[in-house]
Amino acid sequence: MKFTRALLFLCICSKSLFAQIGGDNTYEFLNLTNSARVLALGNALVNTLDDDINLAHQLPSLNHSGMNNQLSANFTNYYAGVKFGSLLYGLPHKKLGNITLGIQYLNYGDFTRTDEFGNTIGSFNAGEYAISASTALHYDSVLHVGMAVKGVYSNFDSYVSYGLLTDISATYSLKEGRLMASVLMKNFGFQLKTYAGTREPLPFELLLGVSSKLEHAPLRWSITWAHLEKWDLSYQDSSEEVDPFTNETITSSYSFRDNLVSHLHLGAEFLFSKNFNVRLGYNFRRRQELALELYKHNVGLSWGFTMKVSKFHFNYSRASLHAMGPMHTFSITSNLSNFKRK
Gap between the Cα atoms of 204 and 143, Å rounded: 24
pLDDT in tens, 221-265: 999 999 999 988 886 554 456 656 666 665 556 788 888 889 999
The stretch 281-308 carries a mean pLDDT of 88
Query: Burial of 91 by CB count in 10 Å (0-12 exposed, 13-18 middle, 19+ buried)?
Result: middle
Gap between the Cα atoms of 129 and 120, Å rounded: 28
* pLDDT score recorded for residue 240: 54
Pairing label, strands 97-114, 312-322? unpaired
CB 160 within 8 A of CB 195: yes
**What confidence category does residue 291 fall into, taking pLDDT thresholds of 50, 70 and 90?**
confident
pLDDT in tens, 40-66: 999 999 999 999 999 999 999 999 999
Residue 121 has pLDDT above 80, yes or no: yes
Please state, rounded to an integer, the average pLDDT across all residues of the chain: 87
The stretch 132-153 carries a mean pLDDT of 95
Look at residues 285, 288, 275 and name the one whose alpha carbon lies nearest to residue 315.
275
**What confidence category does residue 12 fall into, taking pLDDT thresholds of 50, 70 and 90?**
very low
Tell me if residue 306 falls in helix, strand or coil: strand
Between residues 61 and 286, the one the model is more confident about: 61
What is the second-level CATH architecture of the domain 2-113+121-235+264-276?
A: Beta Barrel (2.40)
Between residues 254 and 210, the one the model is more confident about: 210
**What confidence category does residue 294 fall into, taking pLDDT thresholds of 50, 70 and 90?**
confident
pTM recorded for the entire structure? 0.85
Most confident of 11-25, 106-120, 183-197: 183-197
Identify the bridge partners of residue 310 per DSSP, sorted by sequence position: none
DSSP at 305 = E
Q: How would you classify residue 156: left for phi > 0, otherwise alpha for psi between -120 and 50, otherwise beta?
A: beta
Between residues 113 and 60, the one the model is more confident about: 60
* pLDDT score recorded for residue 219: 96
* pLDDT score recorded for residue 237: 53
Q: At 152, phi and psi to the nearest 5?
A: -115, 135
Domain chopping of the chain, boundaries:
2-113+121-235+264-276
Residue 103 has pLDDT above 70, yes or no: yes
Angle at 111 between CA 105 and CA 115, to 5 degrees: 145
Which residues fall within 8 angstroms of residue 283, CB to CB, at 6 or more apart?
Answer: 42, 43, 265, 266, 300, 302, 319
Which residues fall within 8 angstroms of residue 238, CB to CB, at 6 or more apart?
Answer: 18, 19
CB 241 within 8 A of CB 276: no
Gap between the Cα atoms of 43 and 227, Å rounded: 13
* pLDDT score recorded for residue 256: 80
CA distances from 179 to 130, 131, 190, 219 (A): 32, 32, 35, 12
Between residues 13 and 202, the one the model is more confident about: 202
The stretch 23-41 carries a mean pLDDT of 91
* pLDDT score recorded for residue 257: 83
DSSP at 158 = T
Among 3-7, 48-52, 246-250, 325-329, the least confident range? 3-7
Most confident of 10-19, 116-125, 215-224, 242-251: 215-224
Query: C-alpha dihedral over 296, 37, 202, 260, to 10 degrees?
Result: 50
Gap between the Cα atoms of 213 and 207, Å rounded: 20
Determine how many CB atoms are found less than 10 A away from the CB of residue 231: 13
